[in-house]
Amino acid sequence: MEKTLYTVIVFSENRPGLLNQVSIIFSRRQLNIESLTVSASSIEGVHKFTITVYTDEEEIDKVVKQIEKRIDVLKAYYYTDDEVIYQEVALYKVDTESILESDEIEQLVRKYNARFLEITRTFSVIEMTGHTDEIKELYYALDKFGVKQYVRSGRIAITKSTSELLSKFLSDREEEAKG
């Protein structure tokens, strides 16, 4: 079967141990999590896990259904890249001297729409927001000058839907509770 990169978005209460419960679901199915980000959502008191994983649709459907069985999980969804808008953030640390010796690093920063986050006498930190492939391209371009440190965040994503699906889910649930 063909493997696709899926973005799984899990809405949950902010409870200790939930991250472990969710990650166990992936590991039991021998699925390697490519990236994982957890943050507050637009709904007060609700946190959002954004997880990316390569698998097939049948498997990701099972994983999402299994995640939804967790008591602290409100709802989980999965998407392909066509259905979400996503970004990652990367930081690159390079010697300031390399920047002063040549304008190539400055040109790369402009080309990739990156920016200097901090410049000291000894090192400079460049920040870039983009997709994985663009971030890696900048890494390889900067590495010829010697990247001292590099870090990349997990994916953050929002759907192309006009409304937050969880809001409709919570609204429907509230209506059911009223009778």
The enclosing domain of 26 has a CATH number of: 3.30.70.260
Alpha helix (H) residue ranges in 3-56? 18-28
* Residue 173 domain flag: no
* Residue 175 domain flag: no
pLDDT score at 161: 82
Q: Which domain holds residue 56?
A: 4-82
Q: H-helix or E-strand containing 127? A: strand 123-130
* Residue 124 domain flag: yes
**Whole-angstrom distance, CA of residue 54 vs CA of residue 2:** 9
pLDDT score at 1: 66
Q: Which residues contact 21 (CB under 8 A, 6 or more apart)?
A: 70
pLDDT score at 132: 93
Query: Number of structural domains, the chain?
Result: 2
Q: Which residues contact 28 (CB under 8 A, 6 or more apart)?
A: none
Same domain (yes/no): 114, 70: no
Tens place of pLDDT per residue across the chain (179 aa)? 679 999 999 999 888 888 999 999 999 999 999 999 999 888 888 899 999 999 999 999 999 999 999 889 999 999 999 999 999 999 999 999 999 998 999 999 999 999 999 999 999 999 999 999 999 999 999 999 999 999 999 999 998 887 777 777 777 778 888 87
Same domain (yes/no): 8, 40: yes
Strand partners, 50: 9, 37
**Whole-angstrom distance, CA of residue 118 vs CA of residue 137:** 21
Same domain (yes/no): 73, 106: no
**Whole-angstrom distance, CA of residue 24 vs CA of residue 31:** 10
Nearest to 169 by CA among 2, 9, 4: 9
CATH number at residue 101: 3.30.70.1150
Same domain (yes/no): 138, 76: no
